[in-house]
Amino acid sequence: MNFLEAFRRPQQAHALLDRILQSGASRTFRFMEVCGGHTMAIWRYGLPNLLAPSINLLSGPGCPVCVTPNGFLDRAMALSRQPDTIIVTFGDLMRVPGTSSTLLLEKARGADIRPVYSSRDALNMAHSNPERTVIFLGIGFETTAPTIAATMQAARQMGLKNLRLLSALKTMPQALRAIASGGEVKLDGLILPGHVSTITGTPIYEFLARDFSLPCVVSGFEPLDILQSLLMLVQQVQEGRADIEIQYGRSVRAEGNAKAREVMAAVFEPCAAEWRGLGLIPESGLRLNSKYQQMDASSLEVEVEPAREHPGCRCGAVIRGAIRPDECALFGASCTPENPVGACMVSEEGTCAAHYKYKSLDPLA
């Protein structure tokens, strides 16, 4: 069985769309899709045009590349200039501008920076380069944190002394609280991240329904998943409910994945974290715990330039859902996917990149 194509059938998409537009005919709705993966799928399949004008979708803070502040990138680049150092990173970070450079530019200048698909790849690199320090750049949310934790555990079992982690890992609940309580955008409900929830389960979201009366649906990533989730949200609003519902049952159990959380808890502890657009949020990041301190690259001494953001860049407001990308003066002018100024234009799943790439697409016939 193919678990992708069956969730992309156009006739069924139109049937769900009819239901959404019928159920919601009386008013307009504003929903936020929290996860960058959803943003990408929503635009790729032309859903905004199909749903307008009754359903408006805003992108949230769930794009790890977008919320990673310049200071982290500047430190990574400073480390890359140290002798006998290999920087290993998810490819997504390569083109993200820091204060005055990018990892891609540093690589062109001779630094040993290696984009990979998985943190597992760093194990081999550390093993085959015992005389060099291998630093993995850890970005991501609860989906990715357990995978990096498993890699750190494996490094310890293998006795690798030269693998280190520079962590900008983040967790969703406090950022969602900041959005919900910020009052900057009035939302009718949230599409919650499917793969974060695969790990965390739904208890971490209960405050959204309880304290903010926000209807929430944990959604899959195929177009039919997203349309069904929107229908479930519209129905919650119409019925005056605010519940945490799961549409993506094939991956998300209410209790999440306890084993993955155990691995994560064995390696990481919560810490304050800096989010582009949201600022410093207590308890919203993950750092290595005392057992893994010798693997922490944040303790390596290196001179880092003072971080500055581009003065015209409005990625922060885009991440909070406060403005649409085309309300930024740089959008499509000096900031394009080929020449990005801000992180939201770099990442495949950044809101600005999605708007730029797919805005003019006609809805699928």
* 89 contacts another protein (rule: CB under 8 A): no
Question: What radius of gyration do the chain's Cα atoms show?
Answer: 21
Amino acid at residue number 103: L
Smallest distance, another protein to C-beta of residue 271, A: 20
Amino acid at residue number 179: I
* 74 contacts another protein (rule: CB under 8 A): no
Closer to another protein at the Cβ: 76 or 330? 76
The pattern of x and - marking residues 282 through 321 that bind another protein according to CB under 8 A reads ----------------------------------------
What six digits make up the tokens of 154? 């494996």
Q: How many residues bind another protein (CB under 8 A)?
A: 61
What six digits make up the tokens of 19? 């239901």
Within a 10 A sphere around the Cβ of 277, how many other Cβ atoms?
22
Closer to another protein at the Cβ: 231 or 288? 231
> Which one of residues 11, 26, 128, 290 is an interface residue with another protein (CB under 8 A)?
11
- Positive/negative CA dihedral, 350, 353, 356, 359: negative
Residues 40-69 that bind another protein (CB under 8 A): 62-65
The pattern of x and - marking residues 124 through 143 that bind another protein according to CB under 8 A reads ---------------xxx-x
Closer to another protein at the Cβ: 259 or 308? 259
d(CA 35, CA 216): 13
* 182 contacts another protein (rule: CB under 8 A): no
Closer to another protein at the Cβ: 214 or 252? 252
**Residue 178 DSSP SS3:** helix
Residues 264-283 that bind another protein (CB under 8 A): none
**Residue 315 DSSP SS3:** helix
Q: For another protein, which stretch binds (CB under 8 A), given 126-134, 224-232, 274-282, 294-302?
A: 224-232
Closer to another protein at the Cβ: 14 or 324? 14
**Residue 190 DSSP SS3:** strand
d(CA 261, CA 157): 19
> Which one of residues 90, 205, 331, 356 is an interface residue with another protein (CB under 8 A)?
90
Looking up tokens 């991501």 gives 140
Is the previous residue joined to 53 through a cis bond, with omega within 30 degrees of 0?
Answer: yes
| CB 314 within 8 Å of CB 328 | yes
DSSP for 205-253 reads GHHHHHHH---EEE--SSHHHHHHHHHHHHHHHHTT---EEES-TTT--
Smallest distance, another protein to C-beta of residue 344, A: 13
* Interaction site with another protein (CB under 8 A): 1, 3-4, 6-7, 9, 11-12, 14-16, 18-19, 35-37, 62-65, 90, 92, 117-121, 139-141, 143-144, 146-147, 150-151, 153-154, 193-196, 198-199, 220-221, 224-225, 228, 247, 249-253, 257, 259-260, 263, 347, 349
